[in-house]
Amino acid sequence: MGKIVSLVYLSLDGVMEKPTWTGPYFGAEHARFAHGQLFASDALLLGRVTYEGMAATWPHMEESDGDFAVRMNAMPKYVVSTTLETAEWNNTTVVRGDLATEIVELRERHTGDILLYASGVLVNSLIKLGLLDELRLWLHPVVVGSGKRLFPEGVDPTSWRLATTAAFSSGTVVLDYRPAGRG
């Protein structure tokens, strides 16, 4: 059974929105780590807003980003949306049904990781349903000051345990959390 693994870029003050502020911290170590995660996964899971941004970008990146972009474009992608009519990006399926049922079926369909990039609303929905298996926070050493945060005020409390960490010379740290109480 596949695992839903969320990958979220965060600033020190918890902002995830428009992560152009990550640029100065992205280097060869970061790229190798991201490459390893993408190539170890079976599929992508995205919310509509993240999907639309990625679908507009990645199909044009194969020449500049090589095998990473080729993999991103070729692998199965699932976009959760109640408003998206069609998905133009190669190998994309729109998920419209009951979220809990659809995610359980998606996990059963794949054996490897299903990467969930950004998509804060979807991340919080999956946490609430108990369906997020791993939360990988890419914490960048910058205070952005304002913007959408991963966990908005009023979100239901949950507990997590730290499973692994990775640190890059840029000061970025990946904190890999698992739901507390799960094996």
pLDDT tens-digit map of 148-181? 999 988 888 899 999 999 999 999 999 999 999 7
Asked whether the whole model's pTM tops 0.75, one would answer: yes
Q: In the predicted model, is pLDDT for residue 182 greater than 80?
A: no
Token pair, residue 53, equals 């941004």
**Complete edge-to-edge strand list for the sheet that includes strand 77-80:** 92-95, 77-80, 41-47, 113-117, 3-11, 134-140, 173-179, 160-167
Domains in the chain, start-ordered, CATH in brackets?
3-179 (3.40.430.10)
Instruction: Give, as one character, the DSSP assignment of residue 101.
Output: H
Q: Tell me: the pLDDT tens digits for 105-154?
A: 999 999 999 999 999 999 999 999 999 999 999 999 999 999 999 998 88
* Contact predicate 121/17, CB 8 Å: no
Q: In the predicted model, is pLDDT for residue 42 greater than 70?
A: yes
Q: Tell me: the pLDDT tens digits for 54-86?
A: 999 999 989 888 999 999 999 999 999 999 988
* Contact predicate 115/33, CB 8 Å: no
Residues in the chain: 183
Exposure class string for 69-95: b at 16+ Cβ within 10 A, else e: bebbbebbbbbbbeebeebebeebebb
Instruction: Give, as one character, the DSSP assignment of residue 82.
Output: S
